[in-house]
Amino acid sequence: MHAPSPMALLLIAIVVLVLFGRGKVSSLMGEVGKGITAFKKGVKEGSEESDKADGTPETADDIAKARAELAAERAKLEAERARITADSGLRDVTPGDQNKL
């Protein structure tokens, strides 16, 4: 597929201008410009953050601390799941446990 000719682009621009008016087209282009600026700023900030730190622990102590925090969080979630199951009266039935059905 080929690109439209300059005359076709000019005709499209004139039709849009006539349909929406100069003020509406101008404000729309201003919003598009603001969006592009915000997008570029976000990309720049995102790349700076990823350059600073990617969130991975660097030393053995950091790794051990992260694992301990993860284990504590898992224990909290498991306890909450058990409490909810006990409170609701529902039983845990998994597809592999055919005898519980």
The percentage of the chain sitting over the pLDDT mark of 90, rounded to a whole number, equals: 24
Average pLDDT over residues 46-72: 77
- Angstrom CA distances, 54 to 6, 51, 59, 65, 72, stand at 47, 7, 14, 17, 23
How far is 16 from 81, CA to CA, in rounded Å? Answer: 58
pLDDT-derived band of residue 64, with 50, 70 and 90 as boundaries? confident
What integer pLDDT is reported at residue 92 of this predicted model? 60
Task: Tell whether the model's pLDDT for residue 34 goes beyond 80.
Answer: yes
pLDDT by residue (tens digit) across 1-29? 688 898 999 999 888 888 888 888 888 88
Record the pTM. Answer: 0.38
Return the SS3 of 1.
Answer: coil
